Amino acid sequence: MIQRIQSVWLLLAALCCLSLFFFDVYHANVMVNGVATTQYIRVNDHYPSLLIALVITAMPAAAIFMYKIRKRQKAIAIFSIVAIVGFIAMTLSRVTNFNTDNPTATDASYWIGAVLPAVAIIFLIMAIRGINKDEKLVKSLDRLR
């Protein structure tokens, strides 16, 4: 049923991934022609990041409505984790390239957009645990028949 606990975890994971579009991933103060400016790394500024962020947002949201097919729901959650790990790797690569290209970058730090994918992974793991519990419950009920 849709009101299972894994639906809540999948919704929270989708919301974490959706909020990537609104929060910055990385900030750095950079000297450009003698003027200090703040540059940001955002998901919306990089086309591959944007596409992967759309995919990792849509998959948990779609998995919520696949409550009748628990195996597929679990497979989508696992694939979402793999896609989020790929997104994190690509983001780290972008930050490394940014720091290499801007040696004058000072006061650089990660922002909330860098933490949200890791939180989404935690929510997806909890959803997978809920799906496994449902699967166990259904199997135990089948034995009683």
- In this structure, are residues 42 and 113 in contact, taking their beta carbons and an 8 Å threshold? yes
Instruction: Give dist(CA 15, CA 124) in Å, integer.
Output: 12
- In this structure, are residues 87 and 52 in contact, taking their beta carbons and an 8 Å threshold? yes
Q: What pLDDT does residue 145 have?
A: 56
pTM: 0.88
Residue 42 has phi, psi (to 5 degrees) of: -125, 160
- In this structure, are residues 93 and 46 in contact, taking their beta carbons and an 8 Å threshold? no
Q: What pLDDT does residue 60 have?
A: 94
> pLDDT per position in the chain (145 positions), as tens?
566 888 899 999 999 999 999 998 988 888 877 788 888 888 988 899 999 999 999 999 999 988 888 899 999 999 999 999 999 999 999 988 888 888 777 788 888 989 999 999 999 999 999 989 888 887 887 665 5
**DSSP alpha helices (H): ranges in the chain?**
5-18, 47-64, 70-101, 112-144
- In this structure, are residues 94 and 49 in contact, taking their beta carbons and an 8 Å threshold? yes
From residue 27, give the alpha-carbon distance in Å to each of 23, 40, 64, 104, 120.
Answer: 11, 5, 34, 13, 22
- Which is nearest to 17 in space by CA: 80, 106, 72, 69? 80
